[in-house]
Amino acid sequence: MTRRQKVTTEPLFLGIECGGTRTTAVLTEYEPTCFLQSKFGPANLRLLSDAQLVEHFRPIGNSLPKPTAIVIGMAGARTEADRERIRRAAAKVWPGVLCYATNDLELAIVAADSLADHPRFRHLWKKHPDGGRYMQGRHSDAIGMIPRVLVLSGTGSCCFGRTWDGKTAKVGGWGHILGDKGSGFEIGLRALKAVVYYYDCESVWSKLGQRLLRKLQLNEPDDLIGWAQRAGKDDVAALAVEVFNAWSDGDKIASDILEGAAHSLAGDAISCAKRLAKTGAQVQFVLAGGVLLRQPRFANKVKRLLRRFWPNAIVTPLKRESVWGAVQLARRQFQTGGTRVLASPDTLFTPQDSAAKAGSSRYGESFFPSLESLKLSPTEQRNPRSINLDKLSIAEAIALMLNEDENIPPAILVEREKIEHAIKLIVRAFERGGRLIYIGAGTSGRLGVLDASECPPTFRAPPGLVQGIIAGGQRAVWESTESAEDDPVAGAQAIQFRGINRKDVVVGIAASGRTPFVWGALHAAKQRGAKTILLCFNPYLEISRRNRPDLVIAPDVGPEILTGSTRLKSGTATKL
């Protein structure tokens, strides 16, 4: 615990920021004059299992009083499925407590100082008769509506922007292999590449090169090869300090590296601002991260570039820890009763999805099939023949399973006209230059990927003609990815980034017929003009007319031998 002041009253608000270096937790009253602050170990959502996530939160819960509302911002949290993982883990440590989950970038942008006290708006303050000062509501409201863009440069880099009404934009954040422009890592890496490049070209080992060898305790340039093979991201980023020191001494190579880094950061920040505001509008750029906050000369260079490229820019540093943004959001959660904006039919698409048409679900109808129809699904029912499965001999269990599988072909045969219709839709798509896209989660997704992968060697089909998309991506093919199937936004985005269009046919596979990932994908495909087919094993599925796919194939194969284990009969029927 790094700082402690007595906290005794209700309500209490807990803000938690989890990053690659440390986790910071702050518990405060409504007016944060008294607070508890604690530090814990690092945490990145992408590197933790669900059990590890709970164990990471547990020491925080044990060391602090129970809060009224919690906000957790975590590195690696990108999707709604990620946020749901955080909320689910938090519920095990703080049951019944309002919880808002987000990423560490949102915390930082909320933690930025208000512009009301910025010199640009000093003239709007009026003297109050009692000796204080005040600002008229219309002025404070206008200032509060100025978009913010976080310009973050530490070990990595990213730009994240947000408007007053919740619209967001992100540029960067792709990691050190794909992105991190203008970051400590890129500065260090460019320094390494530059010193060996000039050594090759001029046969002279530069002063910057001498600094790097001294820093790394290496004796000659060739030693850099082995070091680079072993070095991690943080090791390379640590070399940025030597580049800044060399720049202070007038080193030309260091100057060129940092000039490029500053232009990269400013360029990304401007790109982010353009997605939130009209060119020329007032935008607050918030400088954050170790590189920008610990290197004021470099920060000033970035600031000048921002003002040159965006004349109405207001550039401020992030003066307090990002965790205070979590505290501020926790207070908002309490004020709004914990209202959380969840994915809805009209928010399934990112602003870049220009191919999506106006949603047909803006008529007040439920986007997903009803829960009642899920309860009636044979996939969720108990099979009376397998109630005593655990008491059967191995031979009897085998006979039972094979006997149950005999029901599959007749059930499929009942749907033969719909299957014929589906085949004709797919053939027509191929003739028009379109594609067949399978999409599913778990076993359903794996079977789609399997069928797509078998088409090129079996039928000599072009590799892209038949494609499979599975919730959770590549790793989900061989490993269970919890919560991935519950994210309709991810399904919609998968359709968007595969470039689905009116020539294509998208087949959603969902045994129960209600998988959110699949419905998000089908909805997106329908908006983009593609033909849509749902393959499920729930003949009782209730789908609103406006959200109904072009074709629904729903054989009744009956309850599974193992209740709910749809990799059995439903999986076999899917393959057939």
Decide: residue 120, CB within 10 A, 0-12 exposed, 13-18 middle, 19+ buried.
Answer: exposed
CB atoms under 10 Å from CB of 272, counted, come to: 26
- Phi and psi for 128 in degrees, rounded to 5? -95, 145
The tokens for 125 are 């303050």
Asked if 383 and 563 touch (Cβ cutoff 8 Å), the reply is: yes
3-state secondary structure of 326: helix
* Ordered alpha helix ranges (H), 346-441: 371-375, 394-405, 408-414, 416-431
pLDDT (0 to 100) of residue 480? 79
C-alpha span between 447 and 336 (Å, rounded): 44
Third-level CATH fold of 145-318: Nucleotidyltransferase; domain 5 (3.30.420)
Return the CATH superfamily for domain 3-112+324-341.
ATPase, nucleotide binding domain (3.30.420.40)
C-alpha span between 281 and 139 (Å, rounded): 16
Query: Are both 3-112+324-341 and 145-318 of the same fold?
Result: yes
pLDDT tens digits, the chain, 576 residues: what are they? Answer: 444 445 455 688 999 999 877 899 999 886 656 678 889 998 888 888 889 999 999 999 999 888 988 999 998 888 888 888 999 999 999 998 889 999 888 899 888 877 767 777 777 777 777 767 766 777 777 877 889 999 999 988 999 999 988 888 999 988 889 989 999 999 999 999 999 999 999 999 999 999 999 999 999 999 999 999 999 998 999 999 999 999 999 999 999 999 999 999 999 999 999 999 998 899 999 999 999 999 999 999 999 999 999 999 999 999 888 888 888 888 877 766 544 433 333 333 333 455 555 443 333 345 667 666 667 777 777 877 778 878 888 998 888 888 877 888 888 899 999 999 999 999 999 999 999 999 999 889 999 999 999 999 999 999 899 999 999 888 888 887 767 888 888 899 999 999 999 999 999 999 888 888 999 999 999 999 999 999 998 888 888 888 899 999 999 888 777 777 777 777 777 877
Where exactly are the structural domains of the chain?
A: 3-112+324-341, 145-318, 371-575
Helix (H) or strand (E) holding 284, with range, is strand 283-288
In whole angstroms, what separates CA 444 from the centre of its chain?
A: 23
pLDDT (0 to 100) of residue 508? 95
C-alpha span between 350 and 250 (Å, rounded): 45
3-state secondary structure of 357: coil
Asked if 114 and 141 touch (Cβ cutoff 8 Å), the reply is: no
The tokens for 535 are 């393959």
**97: nearest Cα among 75, 68, 123:** 68
Ranges of beta strands (E only) in 142-229 are 148-153, 157-162, 168-172
pLDDT (0 to 100) of residue 366? 55
Domain 371-575 has CATH 3.40.50.10490: yes
pLDDT (0 to 100) of residue 363? 31
Sequence-distant (≥ 6) Cβ neighbours of residue 438 within 8 angstroms:
445, 447, 448, 449, 451, 452, 466, 467, 468, 469, 507, 509
Asked if 291 and 153 touch (Cβ cutoff 8 Å), the reply is: yes
Asked if 379 and 512 touch (Cβ cutoff 8 Å), the reply is: yes
C-alpha span between 150 and 106 (Å, rounded): 9
pLDDT (0 to 100) of residue 314? 93
**534: nearest Cα among 447, 458, 422:** 422
pLDDT (0 to 100) of residue 1? 42
Active site residues: 454, 485
* Ordered alpha helix ranges (H), 94-151: 104-111, 137-144
pLDDT (0 to 100) of residue 430? 95
C-alpha span between 534 and 511 (Å, rounded): 10
Tell whether the torsion through CA atoms of 316, 317, 321 and 326 is positive or negative. positive
C-alpha span between 125 and 116 (Å, rounded): 9
- Phi and psi for 290 in degrees, rounded to 5? -55, -40
DSSP-derived pairing of the beta strands 505-509 and 436-440 = parallel
**Bridge-partner residues for 506, per DSSP?**
437, 532
3-state secondary structure of 534: strand
The tokens for 52 are 């590890």
C-alpha span between 540 and 378 (Å, rounded): 9
C-alpha span between 445 and 491 (Å, rounded): 12
What is the SS3 assignment for 35-88?
A: EEEEEECCCEHHHCCHHHHHHHHHHHHHHCCCCCEEEEEEECCCCHHHHHHHHH
**179: nearest Cα among 209, 152, 161:** 152
**Bridge-partner residues for 315, per DSSP?**
285
Tell whether the torsion through CA atoms of 473, 479, 481 and 485 is positive or negative. positive
Tracing tokens 């399904």 back to the chain, one arrives at: 491
Tracing tokens 């990799």 back to the chain, one arrives at: 567
Rg of the chain in Å (alpha carbons): 28
C-alpha span between 406 and 412 (Å, rounded): 11
* 59: preceding bond cis by omega (within 30 degrees): no
What is the SS3 assignment for 399-411?
A: HHHHHHHCCHHHH
CA atoms within 13 A on the CB side of 349: 21
CA distances from 376 to 371, 372, 510, 518, 570 (A): 9, 7, 15, 20, 16
